[in-house]
Structure 1
Amino acid sequence: MNLNQLELLRALRETNFNQSKAAEKLHVVQSAASRQLQLLEEELGSPIYERQGKKLLRLTPFGERIMEQVERITQAKKNIQVMADDFRDNRNGALHIATTHTQAKYLLPGPVQRFRGKYPGITIYMVQSAPEQLIEQLFQHKADIVICTEKLVEDEKLVVQPCYDWQHIAVVPRHHPLAQGDITLGRLAAFPILTYTHGFTGRSNIEKAFKTAGKPLDITLAAADSDVIKTYVRLGLGVGIIADISYQPEEDSDLVALNLAHLIPRSVTKLAYLKQLYLPAYLRYFISELLEGRPAGRFPG
């Protein structure tokens, strides 16, 4: 067994078990990759993959256990290099952040600006994706840290920390009927609702609130982006329910923001990283900036 064979297993997972693409990724010919896989399985005395002819279909149960160890080895190799750079106080490198549009636009500008001031040599890569795909970015070693509201649950392989809590608000044009009087779920339910796609920015808390109150929730438009929702509110398609931090008083002065803290439970945005990840000084600093520079709510809870 050697590290090249283990790298092959990792490349096969990343290419959905495509031997040709895995070989290309490792800069070897396919026949050489296939031979290395054959030698490894012979040495271990058990198949790692289920096959249909020469095609690899999926990992065997034994293969799944092998891949757990391969991931640990991959992380250890990365940790050793990062530790060496950290020891030399190397201020050149990269920070990979996986997050959603809302966090990228409204939470991260302040921490990122302060981070750039202290670590100007570190390149920041920001990957925006759906929440259910963000955790995969960590496990595939494509991200150092994930920041989102939905889908971040306790996992024995992750360190998960609350980052900041926030609330939903409703936004309507200035002459909308809801712009006057007290806001209730009953009044909201009388209008089409424009809000986030499933899995984004506290959508589950919105659904829970309406369901608990026994009120219908007529969502006529769902989007991942707060700005898209506000655009269609301006077109008169309905009432927008968005995160309070995404309401910008100067930019959104044509809209009225209505506090929903008494109607919809507060949401918590969290950060997560792999428990086995070695945290270099620059990543520890960035995390501290996230936790200490939490955005203030625009509306009292």
Structure 2
Amino acid sequence: MDLQQMRYVVAVAETASFTRAAERCHVVQSALSHQVAKLEKELGARLFERTSRKVWLTRAGEAFLPSARQALEAAERARAEVAAATGEVRGKLTVGSIPTVAAVDLPAVLRDYRLRHPHVRIALRAGSSERLVEQVREGVVDAAFLGVQPGFRPQGVRDRELAHGQHVAVVAPDHPLAGEEEADLRRLADETFVDFAEGSAARSQSDDAFAAAGVPREVAFEVSGVELMSRMVRHGLGVALLPAPFAAELHGVRCVPIRDGPVRVERLVWSRFAPSPPAAAFLALLDELP
């Protein structure tokens, strides 16, 4: 058993295709298939079931996959540690972020990081705050930017507060509220809302604010991305509640301050274990920000 075989198994599992896995690994399919079959023979169990159209993990494959990923991550970290010992940061950095992060200019931070550490491969994952905490805890993500309610404290990770602010109502330019200097949740009670999925941290901030104010509301459209949300608001399909610093950067909409609106805290989370050299360099860069 070697790391290359593990890399092939992970690629097949993630692409659900031997052809796409071979393309990802830059090898011919026959070579990849041969190595997977050789590993299966050594393990004494099939890792994949195959048809002409579909590939999926067997129970043995599902059991093998997490350990294979851990072995590849350990090898990656070992290379990074050796490079760091010689004064060079190498390896991979995986950063997670909610779509509406506003406490830092993330593209600018990643640009500065790349300039400092050109040999580090950077990956960015977008997701919900809850899922990002899980991924940091699992070691899949090195550090992540969250948007949560004031009382939320993530478990099993290290964290610190980055920013604290309120939401605003985001409306179409021709909406009756567009010219208002301020409003409250009761004024929004009869509006149709575009919001994130029910149960998510992003959604619960607004739900809890309306509940605390004793004001009902109708969420007619649930979306997973801010781009679609903004477009739907722009076309008059509904209104949205978004963090003020982020909403201010949206085009073609109007932002109205809400007196009793939701409050959001942005937090940075990272592993409670010693960070890899690329992750340590990223955290150090963030510490330098004003």
Shared fold per TM-score greater than 0.5: yes
Q: Is the 8 A contact 2:113 2:285 kept in 1?
A: no
**Alignment pair present for 1:179 and 2:180:** yes
Q: Is the 8 A contact 1:144 1:273 kept in 2?
A: yes
The aligned amino acid for 1:161 is D
Partner residue, 1:14: 14
Stretches of structure 2 that go unaligned for 5 or more consecutive residues are: none
Partner residue, 1:215: 216
The aligned amino acid for 1:229 is S
Q: What are the Cα deviations for residues 188-238 of structure 1, in whole angstroms up to 9, with x where unaligned?
A: 1123345556688722321343356351224569673389739946x7766
Aligned counterpart for 1:78 among listed residues 76, 79, 82: 76
The aligned amino acid for 2:145 is I
Q: What are the Cα deviations for residues 168-201 of structure 1, in whole angstroms up to 9, with x where unaligned?
A: 2235679739937772x33211233455566887
Aligned counterpart for 2:276 among listed residues 265, 276, 279: 279
The aligned amino acid for 2:22 is A
Q: What are the Cα deviations for residues 62-103 of structure 1, in whole angstroms up to 9, with x where unaligned?
A: 222211111111111110121122222225777553434422
Alignment of 1:136-155 (within 5 A): 144-149=142-147
Give the Cα separation in 2 of the matches to 1:181 and 1:35: 66
Partner residue, 1:269: 266
Identity across matched positions, percent: 22
The aligned amino acid for 2:65 is M
Give the Cα separation in 2 of the matches to 1:276 and 1:55: 42
Alignment of 1:221-240 (within 5 A): 224-225=225-226, 229=230, 232=233, 239-240=239-240
Partner residue, 1:108: 104
Partner residue, 1:299: none
Q: What are the Cα deviations for residues 47-73 of structure 1, in whole angstroms up to 9, with x where unaligned?
A: 222x25466632223222211111111
Partner residue, 2:46: 47
The aligned amino acid for 1:279 is S
RMSD (Å) for aligned C-alpha atoms: 4.7
The aligned amino acid for 2:87 is D
The two structures have a TM-score, normalised by structure 1, of: 0.67
Partner residue, 1:120: 116
Give the Cα separation in 1 of the matches to 2:18 and 2:132: 26
Q: Is the 8 A contact 2:5 2:39 kept in 1?
A: yes
Give the Cα separation in 2 of the matches to 1:58 and 1:4: 20
Change (3 A) 1:139 1:34: farther
Stretches of structure 1 that go unaligned for 5 or more consecutive residues are: 295-301
Q: Is the 8 A contact 1:194 1:238 kept in 2?
A: yes
Count of residues paired in the alignment: 280
